[in-house]
Structure 1
Amino acid sequence: MARRRSTPLIRLSRDDNEPLYRQLRNGLVAAIEAGTLGPGDLLPSSRTLALELDVSRNTANLALQELVTEGFIQSIDRVGYVVSQEVGPFVQARREPPGIPIDWDVRFRHPTDPYPHMRKPPNWSDYSYPFVVGQPDPSLFPTRAWNRAGRAALDGENRSISLSDLIDQDDQLLTTLLCERILPARGISATPDQILVSLGSQQGLFLVAHALVGSSSRVGVEDPGYPDARHIFSRRRGTLRAMPIDDQGILVEGTTSGLDVVFVTPSHQYPTNVTLAVGRRQQLLTAAADDDFVVIEDDYDAEFRYQGQPTPALKAMDETGRVVYLGSFSKFLAPGLRLGYIVADAPLIEHLRDIRRYMLRHPAGILQRTTALMIESGDYAASVRKTRIAVKDKWERASSGLATHLPEWNIPTQTGGLSIWVPGPSGFDATGLARLALGRGIVIEPGNVCFLNEPRPVNYFKLGFSGIAADSIEPGIAALATLIEDQT
């Protein structure tokens, strides 16, 4: 027969943020841990608990029901609540020293890689002169247009698409508009079955690498190049080969034999912003066919060209389906939205769709439909134009500021991108400069992380201009030049 126990000493506080029923639940668990209530013991009734602890009976019942759900107690007809016989191991474990902590390092099946990471201060916007790369000015975000599209995405027939589980599919309106409005501007002809929506172009790259790169794969990467691409390929166990960059873009001749994949940023090469010359483009496509490799084109900021028209995508010249195109909305709207897309032959897209399904199913429906409605209304195109004008002004100020304050460096200025690649004199230490600059409220990004092999040159840095206030660019460069003069 169950032993009836008196109400254990439990202190409840109405000033505590924790609800009373949770305090009561915790108090009863503590009594079980301490042995005041043991297996088979009969607990006071909810009425008794309520009276003795000065709480409502509903509060007592909530606490008891939670303990039943968790398995601490059980309800027996015409008897009441008794402590479960199964709590013995729980109580014993609480009375013994904790076991050996788990060693997570030995359990990781996909180790990290040896390459350095890009870093920037988490609070970069708090600095006086944040020359960070790839961060647009939040004031340029089309808030009204986005809110208008977001409200429409939850109305009428849009609502079901926005809120439904699409399983492995994408918003058909978005993929259709990509084919009709966005891709033609890049010279690309595609159908919806050749498009997969991703959480930004970086997830797109991860999906493609997951599908195409393994331990036997040889991957050509631009050098200097995009560090995160190196990390993604390396973590797929691919062997990386550096492909040099000059003022015409990636060097193709004599560099592609034996490769399985080549990763390029032809519109604005990262980090130099050089545009891949048309002759080199054709060389690359010809080599891809002759040497049987796939080209991954990351077209991350093609719209940001400030002189002349944006160069058509490499994918626009692709007649064999060997180019996998990565596009993004992040640089034109906001990186925090994390929305991009992949354009490739339908069989590859279906394979990527299967991979994505068991990773995250699909990007949020409401995000896809809101973006689609912005494109459909013309607000997206208007926002791109407005942003390009504002960023062009910053590009001009940054170019002028460098020419004025560092004239002897002869810094090459490209006609597009969101940053300027600054090569310092031989022997100059840009990594040391970046550390000193932080102390003066200036954020720059060292360029050594962009090089594949050791020893990595340390005389380069990236000067981003998209996220800094326009009026801060010239004085920021002036302050940086003073710091450089003091250092040299």
Structure 2
Amino acid sequence: MATSRNPRPANPADLPEPREGVRAPIAVSSGSGEPLYRQLRQALEHQILVGTLVPEQPLPSSREMARELGLSRNTVNAAYQELLASGMIESRSRRGYFINTQMLRNRELGRAAATAEGSAVDWSRHIRPREDAGMPEITKVRNWSSHPYPFVAGQVDERDFPRLAWSRALRDAMDAPHLFYSLRDSVDEDDPYLLEVLCKRVLPARGIQARPENILITAGSQQGLDLLAQTMMGRDTVVGVENPGYVDARHTFARTGATLRPLEVDEHGLVPPADFGDLDLLYLTPSHHSPTNVTLSGSRRQQILASTRDAGALIIEDDYDSEFRYRGKPTPALKALPNSGHVIYLGSFTKFLAPGLRMGYLVAEAELITELRNQRRYKIRHIPGHPQRAMALLIESGQYHRTISRRRTQLQRKWQVLTEALEEFVPFKVVAPPGGVSVWITGPADLDCVELAAEALKAGIVIERGDVFYDDPGANRNHFRLGFAAIKLEAIRPGIRELGRVIAGLAGRQGEAPSHPVDPLNPARSGSVPNGAPAEQL
């Protein structure tokens, strides 16, 4: 495998120390009314305190500093003498001036003491409490890539990213005639080329016919959800959400003060309620439900479309992982069906290319798009033009669809290996979904996913606990999720074998007094038992 000649450090701690002579710029001006030596002393003191200057390296000599700033050596020496007198620097024989590290430590101790005494800003007086403060959140293992078996969801194997094609698109976007659109301030507009290729090359594959005025480019689906929430939701709004369902969408909606109505999900997707009349909006992931990956059945699609339309409710369709289906035929988007004008469609480029790109799109009636465009303008103005134009070029070149096809083949192989390994090594039945990039697993009632995730991590296995996806996490702790997009193919089978051993080990401890690990999502529930069973039944 080819390696870069200049690999980037894995993390900031690996960055080399600044070399001697590499310093932040210093500005002094004879027209400021402040003596030059004092301006220089203040600038150097600031750089010392913020850490720009390295304590282990000597300060520049007066000759070097004078030449660099166009000052006299007397001016530089006067500044150094003031720093020396204040204790900021110290002189070391035959080596020059150095930062006084003891002084820095004393300053830090003084700052900490002042904070402890309450002299710091009381930020609780200035930061408004969040409406969603009590809701569970998805937590990720930050160093997941360093573990041998990272079954993480929402990540990709960076080796699969079309680096050469993307680099070429980025480079071409900086040449005429694309340069103007890459660099301009478009105020609230999107790249017209990207809108055009979406209408012609991307949306038709999902059965959606749209014009440029029906599309808004977003910083991923998450921004699309936020724009919709801020535009259409408030304390008088009721939003139907899947249960289990996408946690971040719930947080986004709840922050507006909206009331969330959990709706159950089974093997055929969302179970339609008897009455949609009390809903203002319904949030759905029909292609591959998040997190279980089940597909909303055709009959339920028709029922939900008709019932919400009759009730005057809107549907937010998050087309989650629709590109990846390994069994059966792909189902059309809700937005592609007749009488779907009340459906707002969310798509993303980042789910299969790379989550770090943060680019998606929203399709809806022109009147709503106009309002969302105005909302976005006063939040971030617009998505950067350079990656927009590069994405358009990537799609138009055909590399976008080739990447989808190649990635689908790679993921299908991983899906096959994973499902076979689960059948062999996991001691209970797992129903694999027909598509998506993760497998949702429901264990026996006495399986605690909080404890399982902790024990698995000790064995180098990263899994995602499933309780957080429910409206009532404490009563649903026997679920977990395995993502397979980021893990290497050859690591899947041994990883599941190890996971099976961890599960067997937990099952073997059932006869012992249960420890009931603390639930960081809700310490009040610590010690609670799934499904409300008394502790002695475990």
Question: With structure 2 as the length reference, what TM-score do the two structures score?
Answer: 0.75
1:270 corresponds to which of 274, 290, 300 = 290
Q: Which runs of 5+ in 1 are unaligned?
A: 1-13, 34-49, 65-93
Structure 1 residue 336 corresponds to structure 2 residue 349? no
Q: Secondary structure at the match of 2:379?
A: helix
Cα separation, 2, equivalents of 1:345 and 1:233: 21
Cα separation, 1, equivalents of 2:232 and 2:278: 15
1:142 matched to which residue of 2?
162
1:379 matched to which residue of 2?
399
Cα separation, 2, equivalents of 1:364 and 1:31: 36
Cα separation, 2, equivalents of 1:371 and 1:158: 12
1:421 matched to which residue of 2?
440
Contact 1:266 1:275 (C-alpha < 8 Å) held by counterparts: yes
Cα separation, 2, equivalents of 1:352 and 1:32: 47
Cα separation, 2, equivalents of 1:168 and 1:132: 36
After superposition, the Cα gap between the structure-2 partners of 1:372 and 1:426, relative to the gap in structure 1 and judged at 3 Å, is same
Q: Deviations over 1:83-126 (max 9, x none)?
A: xxxxxxxxxxx9xx899322222222351431111111111011
Q: Secondary structure at the match of 2:378?
A: helix
Instruction: State the shift of 1:455 in Å.
Output: 3.3
- 1:252 counterpart letter in structure 2: P
1:101 matched to which residue of 2?
120
- 2:475 counterpart letter in structure 1: R
Cα separation, 1, equivalents of 2:44 and 2:140: 50
- The structure that has the greater radius of gyration is 1
1:67 matched to which residue of 2?
none
2:82 matched to which residue of 1?
none
Contact 1:220 1:262 (C-alpha < 8 Å) held by counterparts: yes
Q: Secondary structure at the match of 2:71?
A: helix
Q: Secondary structure at the match of 1:60?
A: coil
1:228 matched to which residue of 2?
248
Instruction: State the shift of 1:431 in Å.
Output: 1.1
2:237 matched to which residue of 1?
217
1:118 matched to which residue of 2?
138
1:475 matched to which residue of 2?
494
Instruction: State the shift of 1:427 in Å.
Output: 1.3
1:443 corresponds to which of 450, 454, 462 = 462
Instruction: State the shift of 1:21 in Å.
Output: 4.6
1:162 corresponds to which of 171, 176, 182 = 182
Cα separation, 2, equivalents of 1:53 and 1:224: 65
Cα separation, 1, equivalents of 2:207 and 2:45: 71
Structure 1 residue 56 corresponds to structure 2 residue 75? no
- 1:168 counterpart letter in structure 2: D
1:287 matched to which residue of 2?
307
Q: Secondary structure at the match of 2:262?
A: strand
Instruction: State the shift of 1:444 in Å.
Output: 0.2
1:325 corresponds to which of 345, 358, 362 = 345
Q: Deviations over 1:379-410 (max 9, x none)?
A: 1000110011001111111111101112x411
1:368 matched to which residue of 2?
388
Instruction: State the shift of 1:19 in Å.
Output: 5.8
Q: Deviations over 1:390-438 (max 9, x none)?
A: 01111111111101112x4111111101100000101111110100111
Structure 1 residue 29 corresponds to structure 2 residue 45? no
- 2:300 counterpart letter in structure 1: R
- 1:56 counterpart letter in structure 2: R
- Give the number of equivalent residue pairs: 427
2:504 matched to which residue of 1?
485
Instruction: State the shift of 1:27 in Å.
Output: 5.5
- 2:298 counterpart letter in structure 1: V
- 1:381 counterpart letter in structure 2: H
Question: With structure 1 as the length reference, what TM-score do the two structures score?
Answer: 0.82
Instruction: State the shift of 1:308 in Å.
Output: 2.9
Q: Which runs of 5+ in 2 are unaligned?
A: 1-18, 29-36, 47-60, 76-110, 508-538
Contact 2:263 2:273 (C-alpha < 8 Å) held by counterparts: no
Instruction: State the shift of 1:17 in Å.
Output: 4.9
Cα separation, 2, equivalents of 1:487 and 1:460: 15
Query: RMSD of aligned C-alpha atoms?
Result: 2.7
- 2:411 counterpart letter in structure 1: V
2:276 matched to which residue of 1?
256
- 2:71 counterpart letter in structure 1: A
Structure 1 residue 301 corresponds to structure 2 residue 312? no
- 1:290 counterpart letter in structure 2: D
Contact 1:222 1:244 (C-alpha < 8 Å) held by counterparts: yes
1:186 matched to which residue of 2?
206
Contact 2:288 2:295 (C-alpha < 8 Å) held by counterparts: yes
2:430 corresponds to which of 407, 411, 430 = 411
- 1:484 counterpart letter in structure 2: I
Q: Deviations over 1:425-478 (max 9, x none)?
A: 011111101001111100000000000135331000001111000010010000
- 2:157 counterpart letter in structure 1: D
Contact 1:170 1:362 (C-alpha < 8 Å) held by counterparts: yes
Higher mean C-alpha deviation, range 110-119 or range 319-328: 110-119
2:529 matched to which residue of 1?
none
The percentage of counterpart residues that share the same residue type is 43
Contact 2:221 2:348 (C-alpha < 8 Å) held by counterparts: yes
Cα separation, 2, equivalents of 1:332 and 1:135: 9
Higher mean C-alpha deviation, range 428-437 or range 248-257: 248-257
Instruction: State the shift of 1:151 in Å.
Output: 1.2
2:108 matched to which residue of 1?
none
Cα separation, 1, equivalents of 2:44 and 2:453: 57
Cα separation, 2, equivalents of 1:414 and 1:329: 22
Q: Secondary structure at the match of 1:353?
A: helix
